[in-house]
Structures are given as structure tokens and as C-alpha cells.
Structure 1
Amino acid sequence: MSTGDIRQREPIYQGKVIEVAVETVELPDGQAVALEMVHHPGGAAAVALDEHERVCLLRQYRHAARGWIWELPAGRLDAGETPLVTARRELAEEAGLIATEWLDLGALHSSPGIFDEVIYLWLGRNLSEQPTAHESGEVIEIHWMPLRQALDWCNDGTITDSKTLVGLYRAGAYLNAQAEMRSEDPGC
């Protein structure tokens, strides 16, 4: 048996979105341990930036967070859906936006100690509006702010959602790198 193989699996709960199981696995040091695991299909999030480098953020009520939090438009991957398709769908449904330019900002593991969810991050630009299509149970406000202000909120603790923190930081780093390349190019 190779490291990480599941020796035993005891399903505990199967919901609409997640599955919970106790899995006995072998660690790299040869130790066999029973781990409580939450399985999730994964998700995608969109950093939507307009031509003025304002970012679209959602202020959304989250019961698990015990209140309102700031987030990027994001959602769960549907069966057979690619992360980019999910990012496009969620941006349209939650923020009422369509982006025609997309850049892959990589992925993140939201809580790898117990949760196998991977969230894929995308930068969407060249935006146009359409009606939102919020799902039942979604309580969402749509806000626009300068990316610089959103990054300040990442640094001061106003934004606490991990996908939003990572997405904004990566988008900011990408834009900074693009600005540096333009400033170093004598043809610009």
C-alpha cells in the first residue's frame, strides 16, 4: 500500500454538497491514523476588475461566520463543470457580470486538515452587466471599490474569507507585475 491510500473508510454523512467519512490512511512515516474527512466537489471564485481597477465584492450573510462577510463571487463546481465555467456562472448569477477576458490565478486548499475542497481563482476583466440570479437562501449585496482599498481591507482584517484574501492578493500581484513590465519596456 502506498502512502495516502485509504485502508478503511466509514461513511458518516452524505449531504447535498458534502460527504463526511472517517478514513484510516497511512502517513509518510508509516503510521496508520483514522482521520475525519469532509469531501467537497470544489469551487471557483472570480476577481472581477473593471477598467478603473475597481473590484466587485459581495457582502454576504453567512450563518457559519455568524454574520456578514466580504467575499468574491464564487460557488461550487457542478458535476462535469470546469473551474472556469463555474467562475463565469457564479460571476453572472451573484454579481450580474459577464467577463470576456479571463486569467487563471491558481488554486488554494481552503482547510486541508479535514477538508479536501480546492478553490480555483480567476481574474475576470472586460465586464458587462446582466441581471443577477441569486439562489434561494443567498442574501447578497453587490459593492464596487478600488482594488487598493480591498487590499487594505485584507491587511486590516476587514476581509477574512480565505478565497477572497488569496484572490485579491494574487490579482494585485499580477497587476503590479504587469505595471512593472510596462515601465521597464522602453516601447511603452
Structure 2
Amino acid sequence: MIASGRVSIYRGRLIELGLETAVLPNGATIELEIVRHPGGAVVLALDEADRVCLLRQYRHVAGDWIWELPAGVIEVGEDPLETAQRELREEAGLVATQWRELGTMLPSPGFCSEELFLYQAGDLSHVGADTQPDEQIEVHWHTLEQVKAMAVDGRIRDAKTLVALYRLG
């Protein structure tokens, strides 16, 4: 796809909303509403007993408490692994010495440029959380079997968490 024109409608602290005229591979010209997003990192942290660090976080947009993995937005100049390490420390109060890439995912590629980098973290140490004022987070530990059951029965509805669990195997 070739973008032939872009108009910015809104630019916030996190996203930009724009209109783009694009030429598709088949030659068709289309108008798109696109959300530009810096991307993020997601951490599936497993302790020595194969328990998963799972957050229960209030999400205003969903109007509910959501089960999800530690995750956050990539800051300017930050590597995705650095983002993963920062978010694990801030949200769960953990640092890890073992890291493994689980690939990437595109949550909503039809209208949003966001790409998420998925990681598995191990060899964990507790250092204390440093949550942001706009975050309401509870840290929980569940066995991998419990978390997979939560995914299957619908208690985990967060896409990035579901994909990371799937990639873990």
C-alpha cells in the first residue's frame, strides 16, 4: 500500500488520528481513518513454580476490571525490551534476568499502527511496584494451568494477554 496523502486530525500525548489516501496493491484508491500509535511491550513473567504474574487492572474504556499481563507504551528512544523491563518493574514490582522474545502482534491492523512486542521473563526478583497515578492495579499470581483456564472460560478478555499465552505454548 502506498500512502499518497495524510491529514492529521488530532494529536494527543499517546496517539495521532489521521485521514490518509492510499493506493492498494490492486491499484484501488481508498480513504482511511488511521490511528498512529508508538507501539508497546507485553511481559509474561513466570516464577520458579511456573506461576504467571497476572494483573487485575481497572480499564475505564472497558468499564471493568480486566485480567492482563504487565504491558506499556514504548517511549521515544526506548527499545521494546527496555519498555518490557520498565513496565514489569513499574506495574508488578519485578525485575527479571532471563528474557525471551515471543514475537509481535498487531492488535487492530485495519485502522491502528500499534505493534506489540511480546516477551517471556524469568528469574524474577521483587523490588516493589511504582504504578502511575492513573493506574489501578492489583498483582496476582496464578499457575499456568489456572491462567490458561481463565483464557478458555472468558475471564481473560485482553487480546495481548491471550496472544502471549498462545505463543508461550
Distance in 1, matches of 2:166 and 2:61, equals: 24
Deviating beyond 3 angstroms after TM superposition, the runs of 4 or more aligned structure 1 residues are none
Aligned-pair Cα RMSD in Å: 0.6
The residue aligned with 1:73 is: 70
Percent identity between the two aligned chains: 51
The residue aligned with 1:150 is: 147
The residue aligned with 1:140 is: 137
The residue aligned with 2:118 is: 121
Distance in 2, matches of 1:156 and 1:94, equals: 25
Query: What count of residue pairs does the alignment treat as equivalent?
Result: 169
Distance in 2, matches of 1:148 and 1:99, equals: 22
Structure 1: 5+ residue stretches without partners? 174-188
How much does 1:8 deviate?
1.2
**1:91 paired residue among 79, 88, 92:** 88
The residue aligned with 2:79 is: 82
The residue aligned with 1:13 is: 10
> Bigger radius of gyration, 1 or 2?
1
Cα-to-partner distance string for 1:22-69 (whole Å, 9 max, x where unaligned): 000011111100000000000001000001000000000001111110
Q: Which has the higher contact order (CA 8 A, sep 6+)?
A: 2
**2:106 paired residue among 109, 112, 117:** 109
Q: Letter of the aligned partner of 1:46 in structure 2? A: V
Higher helix proportion (structure 1 or 2):
1
Structure 2: 5+ residue stretches without partners? none
